[in-house]
Chains A and B, each alone.
Chain A
Amino acid sequence: MVMNTILEIIIIILLAAIIGLFFLGLSRKIMARIHWRYGPPIAQPVIDIIKLFNQTSMSHGKLFNFGIIFSLSGSVVVLLFLPLGEMCPLSSSGGLLVILYCMLIAPLGLALSGGEAANPITSIGISRKFLLAFGYELPLLLILLTVMTHFNTISIVDIVNMQLQTGWSFQHLPLLLSGIAYILILPAILDLRPFELIQAPQEISSGPMIEYGGKFLALATIQHAFNVFISLSLFTNLFLGGAENPGYFFLKMLIVFIILLFVNAVTPRFRIEQAIKFLWRWPALLAFAGLIIVSVTG
């Protein structure tokens, strides 16, 4: 039993790392192709990480180190709550609400780490990160509440299982609205254009990561990869019926991600107020409509 769980945990983490890094590489490749470039190899993020681990690095203090560790472990812990087919090691520990809260840990860790770096640009990035999070959490909360109210459970495993019986969430009208809203906010969660405000290399020199070099940057990249996996996986589990089959699961995530990349490649980026206004207008409105329908009918 315990061995089984440990095995599951290892598999999930490895799978998430591979898929996440693959998606990062893919994103660079696809972006390059859209730009009519040849582009780097798919494995370029892995190469980068290997290089970064081999570099020296500068640390600003204990919290600087702790923050990145905290952030990465937070991301990894979230993975354990997400069902991947039958596998969900922490299914009995609080459900979707815990995921919501654990997703906090990663930005908080980065923020703490960046905070000790004593660089104002880091702080600007962090401030933007939290503001943007505040912007997209409003629709996200509405979306998750719609789903939870619709299925009348807070356990994500139950939600996935119920979708196996009643079909994908997308087939139900209120959840369709929420799903669309979720797609609208996904770029903000993943820090893709038009919401690429946090790193914004041209403007605030990669924001919270500004003092990261060497292994710090490597861990941050891995964390980002996990973040990509988590967001997509959450969407897939909630709206696209989860992982009946690992292959399908991957495919669903891939399709959603590619859509996001196309948007990313062709759009400029919002200012932070514009981003918040957008997020509080359209996705929130859709999600709100969904929640009203659910709470009236359900």
Chain B
Amino acid sequence: MNLIILLAIAFGGALITYFLGKISQKIRDIFAVFISLALAVIAACFYNVSSREIYYTGFLDFPFVLRVNTFSWFFAVTIAVIGLFSIIFSLNYIRKRGNTDFYYSMMLLVIASMIGIVLSGDLVSFYIFWEIMSWSTFLLISYNRGPAISAGMKYIIMSVTGSVVMLVGIVSLYLHYDTLVYTELSGLLNNASSGYILFIIILFFIAFGVKNAIWPLHVWLPPAHSEAPSPFSSVLSGILIKIGTYGIILLIFVIIQINVFLNLGEGILSVRYIISIIGVITILIPTFIALLQDDAKRLLAWSTIAQAGYIILGIAYGTSESVAGGMFHFFNHAIFKSLLFMVVGAVEYRTNGVRDLNSLGGLIKKMPVTFIGGLIGICGLIGVPLTNGFVSKWLIYKTLILNNSPFLAFAALLGTWGTILYSYKLIHNMFLGQLPEKYEKIKKAPFSMQLPIVILSLAIIFFGIIPGLPLHVINSIESGFGMEPLTINIWGIASDTGTINMLNIFTAVLVIGIMVWLIFKVSKKSTVIGQYDNYAAGTTVPKDKYNYSVNFYDPLCRMISPYLKDFIDDFYMSLARSIKNTGNGIRRIYTGDVGHYVIYIILFLALLIFIQINWELW
């Protein structure tokens, strides 16, 4: 199987889907699912394959290189699988909306271009796929209309800014080293001056930072994630921003080698520390902002930024454990964040688009499976032991503590406690509390929504108990980067400085849980009562009013909200406004009076001659 065939299937599938939709909606749905399934299966087949394919396509002088190794395999499979689930989830979600052909083909195009990015073996094809991803994402973000339009605008402008900056970096690399193929490029920068490396890092980091929503570049993400269709939000949050992560890993470990990267700068001012600190800021501020959100998807969007901060922190810190933690967290985040967006999407679907946390509640009685998905999702997000998020965070914390960076560790850990607050708020306000009367007749989510939710929930638990599987892959990626691999076993990590064994914890939790359950079961049975048989100081429970969800963390929010103005967003908006004002000002040059125009021409002429006569510049 060639990589080019994989890409051809991906891109061709996207195109064909559009035209199939003109024939029959049903066939198109099946075809879209089939294509994404095929992508996932084929991508998975490349496990442990390491190959390169070079095509001289005549794109200027650049060869078109595709390559697969464990690193890109890991990302490709994650992308394909999450993509598959999102497509399955879309089946019902999108059915009643207009423009479904467009939706599916763009969805497949985004997935295809992401697979293209991770499989490309040189920076030009990387860039091409990158831009295809950018604009197709833009079209999908704007799909929902209304507020989605400005969200899409924000996204594409930031994205284009990032990518043009990256283009400068790519071209600069090409002019210096005359090649853009990773394998030839890697190691060449060993001899470059540190100033040049810094220049390259900054250029690339802006582009990847925009996509990965690193703190001062994150402003596009909250509106984009919240306004996009939910299945696409899960793609956005689960894998698309991780393409930024992929880029950063590519930059640090492939283009610039890790030892070069670690030796840039000294102590607290070294590049790795600065990026780590940026990562920590990315964790902390968005976590607190997420606390203040009332829109379920916007809350998750801010949470996505915060989790991306963990990934950046882990990768930039640069020890082999932290990098493993970062990459593992990428994988975990892809699972649980797309799961959470699907959960919110299912609720949104059944409640006809309500995602305001203040007006939902009590849906656990109506949508139990969705609730369980949400619960497991937030457990993974928080990192409760036995879910996958735990191991990755544990790795990051551990290496930060043992390498004497307790303040970074502190900030990261504090972020976790913020995560508990907002994620409980999310699940409480949607599923717990009193069920409003208008939702009494809600049905449970349809099968095509429950299936991905269930599978992803199981995956969270599975990889939480058996973290060895992904860590094994990550280990071989790391040894590919020339780093010291971790000592792992299937249940966890067994290094000298700290061991973790999920089997022990799992057994303990299981046994103790069963024991407690037995005690519970043996003792007197309890009567099941409804939500209106509730303590209300003896009075009857008022319907629709007896729910505490508005301003759930009001005391804290009152304390912190003055400090949490999103001034970065304001800054960008004022920048945009000032550009617009400048444009309006400059437009005045064209007065509409032809006399002025003639004067311009004469003045231009006269000025040039005058300059030449006086100073003889030319």
B401 touches A123 (CB 8 A): no
CB within 8 Å of A: which B390-437 residues:
390, 394, 397-398, 401-402, 404, 406-407, 409-410, 413-414, 417-418, 420-421, 424, 427-428, 431-435
Contact partners of B368 in chain A: CB under 8 A: 62
Counting CB contacts under 8 A, is A138 at the interface? yes
What is the CB-to-nearest-CB distance from A200 to chain B, in angstroms, rounded to a whole number?
14
Interface size on A, residues (CB 8 A): 82
In Å, the complex CA distance between A277 and B555 comes to 11
Contact of A53 with B523 at beta-carbon distance under 8 Å, contacts A115-B432, A127-B548, A130-B421 already known: yes
Residues of A participating in the B interface, judged by any CB pair closer than 8 Å: 9, 53-63, 65, 68-70, 72-74, 76-77, 80, 89-90, 92-95, 97-98, 100-102, 104-105, 108, 111-112, 115-121, 123-124, 126-127, 130-131, 133-134, 137-138, 141-142, 145-146, 148-149, 152-155, 205, 210-211, 214-216, 218-219, 271-273, 276-277, 291, 294-295, 298
> Nearest CB to that of A271 among chain B residues?
B555
CB distance from A196 to the nearest CB of B (A): 16
Contacts of A218 on B, CB cut-off 8 Å? Answer: 523
Q: Which of A55, A56, A123 has the most CB of B within 10 A?
A: A123
CA distance A133 to B556 in the complex (A): 12
Tell whether, in the assembled complex, residue A69 and residue B513 are in contact, meaning their CB atoms are under 8 Å apart.
Answer: yes
A-B pairs with beta carbons under 8 Å apart, 25 shown? A9-B508, A61-B365, A69-B513, A69-B517, A70-B513, A73-B512, A77-B509, A80-B508, A94-B492, A95-B498, A101-B383, A112-B432, A123-B433, A123-B549, A130-B420, A130-B421, A131-B553, A145-B409, A153-B498, A205-B537, A271-B555, A273-B559, A276-B555, A291-B410, A295-B407
Complex Cα–Cα for A146 and B517 (A): 38
Contact status A101-B498, CB under 8 Å: no
Is B414 a contact of A141 with CB atoms below 8 Å?
Answer: yes
Give bound CA distance, A9 to B515, whole Å: 13
Closest 5 CB pairs of A and B: A115-B432, A120-B548, A123-B548, A59-B526, A118-B531
Residues of chain A with a CB closer than 8 A to B410's CB? 141-142, 145, 291
B473-481, B499-507, B582-590 - the one binding chain A: B499-507
Closest B residue to A105 by beta carbon equals B384
Q: Check if B548 sits within 8 Å of A97, measured CB to CB.
A: no
- Determine if B504 and A90 form an interchain contact, defined as CB atoms under 8 angstroms apart: yes
User: In the complex the two chains form, what is the Cα distance from A92 to B505 in whole Å?
Assistant: 10
A interface footprint on B489-531 (CB within 8 Å = 1, 0 otherwise): 0001000011111101100110011011101100111111111
- Check B385 for interface membership: any CB of A closer than 8 A: yes
Q: How far is the CB of A12 from chain B (nearest CB, A)?
A: 11
Asked, given contacts A55-B524, A123-B549, A154-B498, whether A98 binds B364 with beta carbons under 8 Å apart, the answer is no
Q: Is the CB of B406 within 8 A of A294?
A: yes
Please state if A211 and B517 are interface contacts (CB–CB under 8 Å): no
Nearest chain-B residue to A150 (Cβ)? B406
Chain A contacts of B500 at CB under 8 A? Answer: 93-94, 98
Query: CB-nearest residue of chain B relative to A146?
Result: B406
B513 neighbours in A (Cβ, 8 Å): 69-70, 73
Rounded to whole Å, the gap between the CB of A49 and the closest CB of chain B is 11
Q: How far is the CA of A39 from the CA of B401 in the complex (A)?
A: 47
Q: Is the Cβ of B384 less than 8 Å from the Cβ of A108?
A: yes
- Contact call A94/B433, Cβ cutoff below 8 A: no
The answer to whether A133 and B432 have CB atoms under 8 Å apart is no
Q: Which residues in chain B, 23-42, are within 8 Å of chain A measured between CB atoms?
A: none
Q: How far is the CA of A270 from the CA of B365 in the complex (A)?
A: 36
Asked if B215 is at the interface of the complex by the 8 Å CB criterion, the answer is no
Q: Are A58 and B414 neighbours in the complex by a CB distance under 8 Å?
A: no
Indicate whether B375 reaches chain A with its CB closer than 8 angstroms: yes
Query: Apart from A53-B524, A115-B433, what are 17 other A-B pairs with CB-CB below 8 Å?
Result: A61-B365, A63-B432, A68-B520, A69-B513, A72-B516, A90-B504, A93-B501, A94-B385, A104-B420, A118-B546, A127-B553, A134-B418, A153-B402, A210-B535, A216-B526, A294-B406, A298-B404
A123 to B526, CA, bound (A): 22
Beta-carbon nearest neighbor of B368 in chain A: A62
Bound complex: CA A111 to CA B504 (Å): 26
Q: Judging by beta carbons under 8 Å apart, are B384 and A149 in contact?
A: no
Q: In the complex, are the beta carbons of A137 and B528 less than 8 A apart?
A: no
CB contacts (< 8 Å) of A59 on chain B: these are: 526-529
CB neighbours of A56 from chain B (8 A): 524-527
CA distance A259 to B293 in the complex (A): 41
Q: How far in angstroms is the closest Cβ of chain A from B164?
A: 41
B414/A137 in contact, CB under 8 A:
yes
Q: Which of A90, A118, A124 is within 8 Å of B435, CB to CB?
A: A118
* Residues A94 and B498 in contact, CB atoms below 8 Å apart: yes
Q: For the complex, give the distance between the alpha carbons of A238 and B553 in Å.
A: 32
Report yes or no: A219 in contact with B404, Cβ–Cβ below 8 A: no
Q: In the complex, what distance in Å separates the CA atom of A55 from the CA atom of B527?
A: 11
Given known contacts A112-B375, A120-B546, A141-B413, is B535 in contact with A295 (CB within 8 Å)?
Answer: no
Please determine whether B549 and A149 come into contact, CB atoms closer than 8 angstroms. Answer: no
Q: Are B534 and A119 in contact (CB under 8 A)?
A: yes
Given contacts A115-B433, A118-B362, A291-B410, contact A98 B527 (CB under 8 A): no
Of the candidates B368, B432, B505, B529, the one having the most CB atoms from chain A within 10 angstroms of its own CB is B432
Q: Is the CB of A219 within 8 A of B520?
A: yes
* B520 and A94 contacting across the interface, CB-CB below 8 Å: no
Q: Considering the chains assembled together, what is the distance between the CA atoms of A210 and B409 in angstroms?
A: 37
Task: Enumerate chain A residues within 8 angstroms of B530, measured Cβ to Cβ.
Answer: 60
Check A54 against B524 for contact (C-beta < 8 Å).
yes
B371-389 near A? 1/0 per residue, CB < 8 Å? 1000100000011110000
Partner of B547, one of A9, A112, A120, A273: A120
Least distance between B446 CB and chain A CB atoms (Å): 22
- Shortest CB-to-CB span from A178 to chain B, Å, is 12
In angstroms, Cα B515 to Cα A73, docked, is: 8
- When distances are taken between beta carbons in the complex, the residues of chain B under 8 Å from A72 are 516
B434: chain A residues at CB < 8 Å are 118, 120
Q: Enumerate chain A residues within 8 angstroms of B433, measured Cβ to Cβ.
A: 115, 118, 120, 123
With contacts A56-B527, A94-B505, A98-B505 known, is A148 near B516, CB below 8 A? no
Kindly provide the distance from the CB of B444 to the nearest chain A CB, expressed in whole angstroms: 15
Q: Is B266 an interface residue (CB 8 A)?
A: no
Complex Cα gap A68–B521 (Å): 12
Q: B385 contacts A102, CB within 8 Å?
A: yes
Docked Cα-Cα span, A200 to B498, in Å, equals 40
Distance (whole angstroms) from the CB of A287 to the closest CB of chain B: 10
Residues in A with CB closer than 8 Å to B519 are: 219
Q: Which of B406, B492, B556 contacts A149 (CB 8 A)?
A: B406
In the complex, how many angstroms separate the beta carbon of B39 from the nearest chain A beta carbon? 36
Residues A76 and B516 in contact, CB atoms below 8 Å apart:
yes
> How distant is the Cα of A137 from the Cα of B500 in the complex, in angstroms?
23
